[in-house]
Structure 1
C-alpha cells in the first residue's frame, strides 16, 4: 500500500472549529499554518502546529507575506464576522491557493461563497445537527456517510430480530433496494458477496442505498 501523501494547509480563524480542524490535520502529519487576529488563539496552537501567526485574513498583503500561495489548501474558518469571512475567501482565491474550503453561517452566505469560487462550503452546525438527528431517529444507525445524489453508506447495528437470518431472507435488495457491503463481527470482517451470510445480533452491517430506502428498512424493524 502506498504511503499517504501529506499536504500543506493554512487554517484562517482559530476559534473552536478552526482549532479543531488545524489540530487534527497536524496530528495526521500534515504541515499546518494557523492564522488568527487574536494573540491568545494563536498562542493556544503554537506548539501543536508547524506554524502559527497573528495576521488579518482581510489583508491580502499579509496573507501573501505569510506564504499562502505555497499552500495546497486554505480553510477559511472565520465564524462570526461575515465581511471578514468573505474578504478572506476572496484573498486566498486571488493569491492562487488551489483548494479553498470555507465555513458558512447561513444559506445566503453559502450562495455568496459558492459564487466566489470556494471549492467546498460547509455549515458545521447544520451538518452535525442532521447527523445527530438521523442517529437519534433510529438507534440502530451507528453512523453514516453521504455519498451525494441521495446515496448513503450506513453503519447499521443488527437487532435481535434479525439474529440467525440469512441476508437473502431479509430482502435487502428485493424489498428495500439496498446493497450490503460487508459486516464486522467483533474485530472480524465478513464478506456479504453471497446472500447466505448469516446475521448475528450486534453485527455492524454496512449498507449502501438511497436515504428513503434506508429509512424504510430501519422503520420496518
Structure 2
C-alpha cells in the first residue's frame, strides 16, 4: 500500500480542486493532512454568506466535490489501490442524491413527490431504524436507478475535472506533504499555476471558522 500521508494529500487535494471548479460551491478556506477527529485529513470550505436553501446545481456540486477524494485516489494509485478513506464521503453523497429524488423533487422522472416517510412513529409496530414503504417495488427500483444515475454523473464529472487539472492536483498534494496545511492564499497560488507562498510562520488563531465538506477517514489494510 502507498504511504497513508501521500494518499491523504491527494485525497484532500481532489476535494479542493473539484470544489473550486464547480458552480455555486463555497470557496476553499483551508486544506490539511493533520489528523483530527478520526480523520486523516480535512478540506474546509467557507460559505460567503448564510445559506438557508440550496439549488439543484449547488447540491450536485456538493456531491461531485465529495467524490473528488476517491477519484483522486483512483487516478493516482489505480482502481485496485483505492482505500476506505472515502467512506464518509460516499455516505454523505448517497444521502444527498437520495434526498434529491425522494424529498426535494429534483428528479424529472420521479416528479415532485415525497417518497420517504421520515415522520413515521417508531412505536407503531416498527423499530426506530425502519421506514414504512409508501410505494411499490417498481417505484423503489426507479428511485434506486435515479440515485445511481446522479452518483454516476457526479463521479464522472469529478474525474473529468481532475483529469483536466492534473498539474494542480500534483502541486497541491506536494504542498500538503511539505506544509501539512495550506490556506486560501496558497490554494489560489496553486490554482493560478504558481508555487504556493511559504506561510509556515503565520498566526492561524484569528482566522474565521470554516465548515468541513470533505474528509478522509483512516486508511485500513484489507
Q: TM-score, normalised by structure 2?
A: 0.25
Pick the structure with more helix per residue. Answer: 2
Between Structure 1 and Structure 2, which shows a larger proportion of strand residues?
1
Larger radius of gyration: 1
Q: Which has the higher contact order (CA 8 A, sep 6+)?
A: 2
